[in-house]
Structure 1
């Protein structure tokens, strides 16, 4: 299914296409999925579980030695469609979101995943504030929303080919650097280029 999503977009794939890609009969696929909506729900739930596992694994590392901003950068990189696997995941997610607009039960599936991710990023920003790595005046809820919206927008740009991967990563790195405390001028009063001596 993900190979189809990466190549053609899952929104255009049929159950027959999935069966052909898997080397199975249509009847075998229909044994597990009665409709395309059921197949999409399964794919997105499966993808959500994979992303959740990667995020939780990363959060465990953050609680040990890895800085919060480094993990948020790794999380963003993992979520952006930078290779075939991530492009397939992204396209499957977009297909699900498009179909979900008209199917209430699919919308709720999407909302649950979005709420979970937003809560985890909010927690990480709060941890960064406690550790002195992020600015204390940040609003963790709003900054989590802004970061996730930025990743989502850049992901769409990458799929469309209107943004270079290097530029997308640089934009996220720039944003995360701005969340950190301002850099102190070096001793001796020398100020970095573009800065001002206080």
Structure 2
């Protein structure tokens, strides 16, 4: 992720980090106008349970919030590579979702990274494409001592990085994408290649939308 160390690049990295942090705070507090400000108009979201334009993502996120869907985000260390008006940002994150699994209230925590394609337009950095990388997850009953029996066939349908998160989301009713990038493997290597091509001006996230 090495890049320029000029003053302008440092200011750009601060602005990008502000977008990353504002995204999580705005979404989790249901501030949809503020959330919308973190994207460019053609922004696109890739997640386990949704893939599509940012306006559709905002709509379904709002609908889920109003129905009581409980998904929260915690962000950690963040760095970005800046090349002119384009950047790739990587941010440590945890996705936390609470819900019922076979009658037992559970918390699922999924650890990974936000891998974001940024662009500076009219002086403003915004997200063009957000692709999380799902590294590992776990499921814990909220009530101490409670146990939950999982369907091994359903659990095995999804990769190790977000297996328990997907299990909960399927039971909630979401169609979960089974091939999102994880810690290792061809999926994440292809993502890194797209990130490098984006910085070089040789790739557009519009190509992601046809996948």
Report the TM-score when normalising by structure 2: 0.30
Q: Pick the structure with greater CA Rg.
A: 1
Higher strand share: 2
Report the TM-score when normalising by structure 1: 0.32
Structure with higher RCO (Cα < 8 A, 6+ apart)? 1
Higher helix share: 1
